[in-house]
């Protein structure tokens, strides 16, 4: 007949050296409690940092939203007067009196001046002067050439360029000379 041996009796018959500290339920709880304490300590150390990072992220998001809103309002303020000036231009073109072209040109010049003033108030500026250093990003050469080193000087401006801040909106149409011919510019 085979004797029935319970788990506790089997553990008792094993040698104490064979059992490790994690093999007993109490020792396992102690290890787990130590891990929990370490995690809690780590959490307490990093929680304030995480909270600060989240607050900075929220502040950044709020600032970005305010900036977007301000840009939309600025665009709206710029678009309305431009739209009015363009509407006036369209009316003038429709009413163009072929019998009096000078009067039509006066109207167009007035609209052009009005548009230029609106755009200038909102940061658009003209650029391009004879004697400027040639810049491929800002100038479109219509005549001439740059030197062998790729350098050049603007000798003549056919149409000024437009920039909004540091961004080039329309390149200036220019004639270019190599820098060694700079004295001819004038």
Condensed to tens digits (0 to 9), the pLDDT of residues 104-114 reads 778 777 777 87
Instruction: Report pLDDT for 103.
Output: 76
pLDDT higher at 89 or 123: 123
Instruction: Report pLDDT for 182.
Output: 57
pLDDT higher at 164 or 45: 45
Question: 177 pairs with which residues across the strands?
Answer: 153
pLDDT of 99 over the 90 cut: no
pLDDT of 162 over the 60 cut: yes
pLDDT of 15 over the 90 cut: no
Smallest Cα–Cα separation from 154: which of 162, 163, 165, 142? 142
Q: Are 169 and 124 in contact (CB under 8 A)?
A: yes
Average pLDDT of span 88-108: 70
Give the SS3 label for residue 165: coil
Average pLDDT of span 142-155: 88
pLDDT of 77 over the 70 cut: no
Q: List the structure tokens of 113.
A: 């001046």
Q: State how far Cα 15 lies from the chain centre.
A: 71
pLDDT of 19 over the 50 cut: no
Average pLDDT of span 135-160: 90
Instruction: Report pLDDT for 156.
Output: 94
pLDDT-based confidence at 186, cuts 50/70/90? very low
Instruction: Report pLDDT for 132.
Output: 94
Q: List the structure tokens of 181.
A: 């011919």
Q: Kindly report the number of other CB atoms within 10 A of residue 156's CB atom.
A: 15
pLDDT of 16 over the 70 cut: no
pLDDT of 59 over the 70 cut: yes
**Mean of the per-residue pLDDT values for the chain?**
76
pLDDT-based confidence at 28, cuts 50/70/90? confident
Q: Look at the block and give the residue holding tokens 């050469």.
A: 141
């Amino acid at each position: 007949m085979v004797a029935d041996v319970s788990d506790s009796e089997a553990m008792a018959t094993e040698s104490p050296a064979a059992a490790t500290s994690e093999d007993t339920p109490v020792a396992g709880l102690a290890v787990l409690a130590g891990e929990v304490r370490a995690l809690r300590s780590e959490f307490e150390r990093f929680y304030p940092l995480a909270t600060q990072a989240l607050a900075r992220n929220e502040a950044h998001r709020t600032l970005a939203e305010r900036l977007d809103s301000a840009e939309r309002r600025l665009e709206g303020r710029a678009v309305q007067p431009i739209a009015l000036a363009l509407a006036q231009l369209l009316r003038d073109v429709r009413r163009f009196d072929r019998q009096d072209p000078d009067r039509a040109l006066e109207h167009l010049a007035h609209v052009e001046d009005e548009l230029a003033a609106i755009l200038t108030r909102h940061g658009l500026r003209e650029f391009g002067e004879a004697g400027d250093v040639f810049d491929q990003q800002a100038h479109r050469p219509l005549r001439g050439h740059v030197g062998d080193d790729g350098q050049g000087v603007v000798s003549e401006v056919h149409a000024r360029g437009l920039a909004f801040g540091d961004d080039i909106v329309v390149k200036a149409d220019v004639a270019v000379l190599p820098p060694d011919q700079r004295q001819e510019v004038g």
